[in-house]
Amino acid sequence: MLPLLSLLTSLLASSVSAQTTQCKAHPTDAGSWPTTQQWAQLNQTVSGRLAAVIPPAAACHNSFNGQPTYNQARCTQIRNSWGQQDFHFNDPVSIMWDYWSNNTCAPSQFPGSCNIGTYPVYVVKAQSVADVQAGVNFARERGVRLVIKNTGHDFMGKSTGAASLSIWTHLFKEIQIINNYNDPSTTYTGPAIRLGSGWQAGDIFKELDRIGRTIVAGECAGVGVTGGYIQGGGHGPLSSLYGMGSDSVLQYTLVTASGTYITADASQNTDIFWALRGGGGASFGVVISVTLKTYPSPRTSAMTLSFSSQQVGGNDRFWSAIGAFHAAGPTWVENGLFGYYEINPGQFTLQPLLAPNKTQAELQRLTEPFLQNLRNQGINLTPRYHEHSNFLASYNALFAGEGSGVSMLTSSRLILKSHIRNNNAAVTNAFRRTVEGGRFIVGHMVGPPPYADSAVNPIWREGVLLPLYNAFVQAGASEQEKQRIIQETNNVYDKVFKDATPGGGGYVNEGNIFDPNWKQEFYGAAYARLYRVKREVDPQGVFWAKTAVGSELWEERVGGRLCRTNIQP
């Protein structure tokens, strides 16, 4: 039985009339929102896998939609799990950062009634291609907003949406290890792996380690590799050596906006294949599976280092040391190294600088010029070196999980090697102003090598640093306070980074969703072709997310209503 189906439908229907030709259906529009019977028919089509959404922390509130929901024991479990990623990954609608659910029914709030906020109204817990097709067809035919969630490891809120139907792809767990991929669509022959869209990075690393192989995937074990991660390019610990995650894609299977199940590779549906390798998720279809190249799991060395401003003799010397670290970046990434680091006021932590296919002695030789640079400034630091027999051992030892269940906004800047080599002082100043202004930085040192033909923003191939600068947003913050943080990001911190790094960009998966210049920042020279592909494969705008390709044709209005803009296609 479909939970709360009759309740939600009767509650949400009202006398407000929808402009059905201009807006997606909305629950407050009795004339456009599907009826109870129509939702029930969809539920029957997907074999009972459609659910009316109850916010995941509703048990911490007295009621939801007029029905009592408070359960003290369950609420305690939720509160204890809210900061753990697995809770959100394994829930069909929950996402990693509370900001994007509008802090609806957050477990930290006082018990009271809660509302659905920006969670979807219904979700298909898809387990088959037919389930996905049914959801896509229903949304298209009835004009319902459609969103796609895999894990909810989502910095930009693309995997949720108000007044929507969601398709949850996390249950697709197909896996096939291919010893010798040999397909006429590509010149590549060799080991590969075919993965259902529910697979996550850490689990794939473990599966492949058994045969001495690995893939390019994110530094967080919970990242859903085949979702927005790889469709948006995807960087990770092996990217400076093997490239972006999308560079390894050999084939996709997906359901398009027309509800058609297709294969996309270098010989069929080639425009979609190109677009899905860097053009971003939530735009071109619901990915069912991806086939990836695999690589030998390399012997790996690493360096870890942390220091404080007090330790190095003051704030100026602290930032000078960070400048020296960045100055070494171009040489390091050109040698296949990857760095993951955090900067807070007066504290720098590098955990780690990873050197795949390098011995500890080779890594020490590569890092000695950096350490000598510091010694020349009177800064004596002693890093720790590590060496592991394979990538997984290094990954397990050195990469920690990320937090969840917090309310944050992020922005990013893709900084090029030329910026470091020609004007590192300006780059260092941008970092300093941002941290001292109250943002904390999560930095990536990564430089993927050139790749022939994909939709990844071309400047990635010249990149060396990707700092994410983040702001906490208090639960229950007023709209005025949210707008203050957004405008501060746009007009202060984005500006200082853009001024210091002309010709740089942002990252489509980890960027400022409110950047007015998002097309250039996220997609660069690839956007024009991406837009043409979008209009060809999804002319009705079945798939939409803010800053996704073609998103300028629609806008969110009060109450989450999604309506067409005045921009002509």
| Last residue of one domain, picked from the residues 108, 143, 168 | 168
Same domain, 102 and 134: yes
| Phi, psi for residue 397 in degrees, rounded to 5 | -80, -30
DSSP assignment of 269-291 equals SHHHHHHTTTS-SSSS-EEEEEE
Both structure tokens of 370: 């950096």
Same domain, 202 and 159: no
Segment 299-324 mean pLDDT: 98
Same domain, 19 and 108: yes
Does 45 have pLDDT greater than 60? yes
Same domain, 291 and 304: no
- The whole-chain average pLDDT of the chain stands at 94
| Phi, psi for residue 264 in degrees, rounded to 5 | -125, 125
Same domain, 404 and 424: yes
Those residues whose C-beta lies under 8 Å from the C-beta of residue 208, and which sit 6 or more positions away, are 177, 193, 214, 215, 294, 297
| Last residue of one domain, picked from the residues 168, 202, 220 | 168
Which domain range does residue 449 map to?
300-524
Q: What b/e sequence results for 10-37 when a residue is b if at least 16 CB atoms lie within 10 Å of its CB, and e otherwise?
A: eebbeeeebeeeebbbbbbbeebbbeee
Among 63-67, 111-115, 122-126, the range scoring the smallest mean pLDDT is 111-115
Q: What is the pLDDT of residue 10?
A: 40
Segment 335-352 mean pLDDT: 98
Segment 228-252 mean pLDDT: 98
| Neighbouring C-alpha atoms within 13 Å toward the C-beta of 278 | 27
- The number of beta carbons lying within 10 Å of the beta carbon of residue 300 is 28
User: 109: pLDDT confidence band, cut at 50, 70 and 90?
Assistant: low
Residue 564's identity, in one-letter code, is R
Does 329 have pLDDT greater than 60? yes
Does some domain include residue 421? yes
Q: What is the pLDDT of residue 21?
A: 65
Does some domain include residue 389? yes
Does some domain include residue 559? no
Q: What residue spans of 478-555 are helical by DSSP H? A: 479-488, 494-500, 518, 527-537
Segment 26-54 mean pLDDT: 97
Among 76-85, 130-139, 346-355, 416-425, the range scoring the smallest mean pLDDT is 76-85
Query: Which CATH number covers residue 442?
Result: 3.40.462.20
Does some domain include residue 563? no
Contact 217, 206 (CB under 8 A): no
Residue 344 three-state SS: strand
Segment 46-57 mean pLDDT: 97
Same domain, 421 and 510: yes
Same domain, 520 and 454: yes
Does 501 have pLDDT greater than 90? yes
How many structural domains is the chain composed of? 3
Query: Which CATH number covers residue 263?
Result: 3.30.465.10
User: 20: pLDDT confidence band, cut at 50, 70 and 90?
Assistant: very low
Residues of the chain with pLDDT > 70: what percent? Answer: 96
DSSP assignment of 77-138 equals HHHHHTTSHHHHHTSSS--SBGGGGTTTT-TTSPSSEE--TTS-SEEEE--SHHHHHHHHHH
DSSP assignment of 436-491 equals HTT-EEEEEE--PPP-SS-SS-GGGGGEEEEEEEEEE--TT--HHHHHHHHHHIII
Q: What is the pLDDT of residue 34?
A: 98
Those residues whose C-beta lies under 8 Å from the C-beta of residue 487, and which sit 6 or more positions away, are none
Contact 169, 198 (CB under 8 A): yes
Both structure tokens of 484: 């203050």
* pLDDT tens, position by position, 135-145: 999 999 999 99
Does some domain include residue 500? yes
Q: What is the pLDDT of residue 50?
A: 99
Same domain, 180 and 164: no
Among 66-80, 163-177, 318-332, the range scoring the smallest mean pLDDT is 66-80
Query: Which CATH number covers residue 161?
Result: 3.30.43.10
pTM to 2 decimals?
A: 0.94
Q: What is the Cα 489 distance to its own chain's centre?
A: 19
CA-to-CA distance for 413 and 371, rounded, in angstroms? 26
